[in-house]
Amino acid sequence: MKSEDTPFEGGPMDGRVLPVLLGITGHPPKTYRIPVPAADGGPPTVLVYRRVPRERSGRTGLTRGWKYLYDPTGRAGGRPRWPWSKSGSDPDATPGGKPDDAHG
């Protein structure tokens, strides 16, 4: 398997560079989770890092590598968003704003 030395920024891993395995597309994973065991034997704390472009080339705008930024919220935002799936709002709800004059 191929790996790439990827820098980490922010959080407890700030300034470290770790070899991260690349996927079949040649990119590292979008999120990198690091479980940290608790000192008292409780459940481990999970550090979450999100992949962002390291730098972009000036002429073509292509990404020249990746880095991971610390995400203190640690929310799972990696779900695919399909165009046919419903959003958080109810489609049958009355739209906000001023009512149309033709309807009363």
Does residue 65 contact residue 52 with C-beta atoms inside 8 Å?
Answer: no
- What is the structure's pLDDT at 29? 92
Other CB atoms within a 10 A radius of the CB of residue 20 amount to 19
Write down the pLDDT at residue 41: 85
pLDDT one digit per residue (tens) for the chain, 104 residues:
799 999 999 999 999 999 999 999 888 999 999 998 988 888 888 999 999 998 877 777 777 789 999 998 877 555 677 778 766 554 554 555 555 555 55
What's the pTM?
A: 0.67
Predicted local distance difference test score (pLDDT) of residue 83? 79
Q: CA-based angle 82:87:88, to the nearest 5?
A: 145
